[in-house]
Structure 1
Amino acid sequence: MTITGRCYCGELTYCIESEPIMKGNCHCRECQYFSGGHPNAFLVMSDSTFQYTKGKPKTFTRSDLEKPRTREFCGNCGTHICTKSEFRPGAIVLKAGTLDDMSLFDKPDMAIFTIDKQPFHHLDADVPSYERMKP
């Protein structure tokens, strides 16, 4: 499966030849910052074929955490493209909003970090949810 996507302004584009490993909504407080207050819709993908086809991302890694995640984003418009982490070696967490074909996300396999869920967040009854990471 070929998946393509981009940032809002189009300065960054990407391509990946992979099937999603899993799809989810993360309700953690950190993701709420990046999403503007709502859960973060994401796809976990193998990073072996991920490549930027246009532009080079800016990166951000917090220096105050023991095992921080590295976030890649457009330096022009700020769109968050993906996250890389020691917790998921060989994988990237691709932001669903950057997909050229949003129907590839369809619906999440799970909702995680619901302990941080806000009263205005909606959880689908047919989607498994976990207060923290999936056990």
Structure 2
Amino acid sequence: MSLSGGCYCGAVRYEAGGEPRFKGQCHCRECQYITGGAENLFMVMPSADFAYVKGEPARFTRSDLEGPATREFCATCGTHILTRTPRDTSMVILKVGTLDDPGQYQGPQAAIWTADAQTFHMIPEGIATFAGFPGR
């Protein structure tokens, strides 16, 4: 699969390849902050096949958490592009809204952290749901 995308203002662009390891929907409170209140739609892609082709993102890592994720975003318009987790550096968690063709996502395989979901969040029928992170 070949993906391309970028931020709202066009200052940061990327290309991603390989097959998605997972396509999900996250309802955790942290994702709600990042999205402005909605659930977060994402694709887990191989980091070896991901590259910025225009611009360089700003990065933010919380200093008050053990093993925090790093969020990469456009410093100009604020668009959240991806997340990198120290637990698995072989992947990037790509935000679906940044894809040039969001239709390539084709919907989530599962919804995670549903224990934090708000009453206005929508979970597609027929997908697996997990109150927290699967396997933990």
TM range (shorter): over 0.9
Partner of 2:52: 52
Partner of 1:98: 98
SS at match of 1:93: strand
Matching of residue 118 in structure 1 with residue 118 in structure 2 = yes
Matching of residue 64 in structure 1 with residue 56 in structure 2 = no
Equivalent residues in 2 for 1:2-21 (5 A)? 2-21=2-21
Structure 1 residue ranges, 4+ long, deviating more than 2 angstroms after superposition = none
Distance apart, 1:49 and its partner CA = 1.6
What's the TM-score once normalised by structure 2's chain length? 0.96
Distance apart, 1:29 and its partner CA = 0.2
SS at match of 2:48: coil
Q: Percent identity?
A: 47
For 1:10-39, what per-residue CA distance to the aligned partner results, in whole angstroms no more than 9, with x for missing partners?
A: 000000121111100000000000111010
CA distance in 1, matches of 2:53, 2:71: 18
Equivalent residues in 2 for 1:72-83 (5 A)? 72-83=72-83
CA contact (8 A) 2:17 2:45 kept: no
Instruction: Please provide the CA RMSD for this pair.
Output: 0.8
CA distance in 1, matches of 2:34, 2:28: 10
Partner of 1:41: 41
What's the TM-score once normalised by structure 1's chain length? 0.97
Partner of 1:26: 26
CA contact (8 A) 2:61 2:69 kept: yes
Residue identity in the other structure for 1:38: A
For 1:59-114, what per-residue CA distance to the aligned partner results, in whole angstroms no more than 9, with x for missing partners?
A: 00000001100000000000000000122230000000000011111110000000
SS at match of 1:103: helix
